[in-house]
Structure 1
């Protein structure tokens, strides 16, 4: 179990960026990376063969916070403006594509964005406590049966990672000891 978690953390660090850049206050936010333990992959954005980002799609999974919808591949600026000032911000040079990975940390979730041609797009949302839930009502610390009841049994499972695909997004649950320990919305490449 610990080996799998360490492997996931290592993968996250490799994919999340090559180097960190200080925030406006002059320090990087290590919590932005350490809180993503348990996720299987960094929310690196999608840049299809056309070289343009995928368009936000209502046919994928959409996280909603305080009435603000956050679809994957949507332009980030209008959403971030509605969400207000984050508690912290972190960015790093992306290894998988030109531009920066950007992490906006709010009280109960993080929003990851990728940069393409000077515009930021939503790459991922990671939930961190049970004060926020998926649209179907699943929160951290729910049981595996709650996830299957809400989303069905059409998932892929690798170790403790349960992945549901829909449109241009994925909804990922890490389930350990029959308990949800991580929830991530991810833009599909």
Structure 2
């Protein structure tokens, strides 16, 4: 229920003012679409067309799933091939730049990609349950003190959003009532 609520909020934020179209292959149902969206505005929508995608490197936060590293700004195709077929796929016309926002939903996380010059790059990874963790062992439903113990106290805080910056990425935690309710890896422009 919480995942669907967060997804619905993000879906409204992502699609306000833009049209969208599910793809024919793996077209997502309305319920899958609301679950496919993440807790924050689509990071792909924040990447302007004039920016060149940064080279993926070790100087940012990297999500790891089943031994597969997913750095922000990395070319998406090789990573998506390793991850295998997603449970669902959704795309929409990007509001902020020419191209498409692409969302690949796996069992415990979503991978967002942005399109630049015909190539897809990793824009964000959003975790949805406590079966996946950050490399430092933080998972949904951990306490705020667990996040600070793992990442330190050098974060920015806006309402309940705690943001850690590292290199070309951010790691974002929504913490409500002393409990982590959302974790998102985000490519910085």
With normalisation by structure 2, the TM-score equals 0.87
Q: Mark the runs of 5 or more structure 2 residues left unpaired by the alignment.
A: none
- Structure 2 CA distance for aligned equivalents of residues 25 and 35 of structure 1: 16
Q: Are the equivalent residues in 2 in contact too, given 1:110–1:127 (CA < 8 A)?
A: yes
Q: 1:29–1:168: structure 2 CA closer, same or farther, 3 Å change rule?
A: farther
Specify the alignment match of 2:129 in structure 1: 129
Q: Mark the runs of 5 or more structure 1 residues left unpaired by the alignment.
A: none
The alpha carbon displacement at 1:55 in A equals: 1.2
Specify the alignment match of 2:92 in structure 1: 92
Q: 1:182–1:97: structure 2 CA closer, same or farther, 3 Å change rule?
A: same
Partner of 2:80, secondary structure, is helix
Computed over aligned residues only, the root mean square deviation of the Cα atoms, in angstroms, reads: 2.2
- Structure 2 CA distance for aligned equivalents of residues 175 and 185 of structure 1: 15
Partner of 2:173, secondary structure, is strand
Q: Are the equivalent residues in 2 in contact too, given 1:63–1:135 (CA < 8 A)?
A: yes
Q: 1:32–1:133: structure 2 CA closer, same or farther, 3 Å change rule?
A: farther
- Structure 2 CA distance for aligned equivalents of residues 179 and 16 of structure 1: 28
Specify the alignment match of 1:13 in structure 2: 12
Specify the alignment match of 1:161 in structure 2: 161
Q: Are the equivalent residues in 2 in contact too, given 1:32–1:103 (CA < 8 A)?
A: no
User: Once the two structures are superposed, what CA deviation does each residue of 1:82-141 show, in whole Å capped at 9, x if it has no partner?
Assistant: 000000000000001110000000000000000001100000000000000000000000
Q: Does 1:119 align with 2:115?
A: no
- Structure 2 CA distance for aligned equivalents of residues 100 and 20 of structure 1: 9
The alpha carbon displacement at 1:46 in A equals: 3.4
- Structure 2 CA distance for aligned equivalents of residues 120 and 29 of structure 1: 23
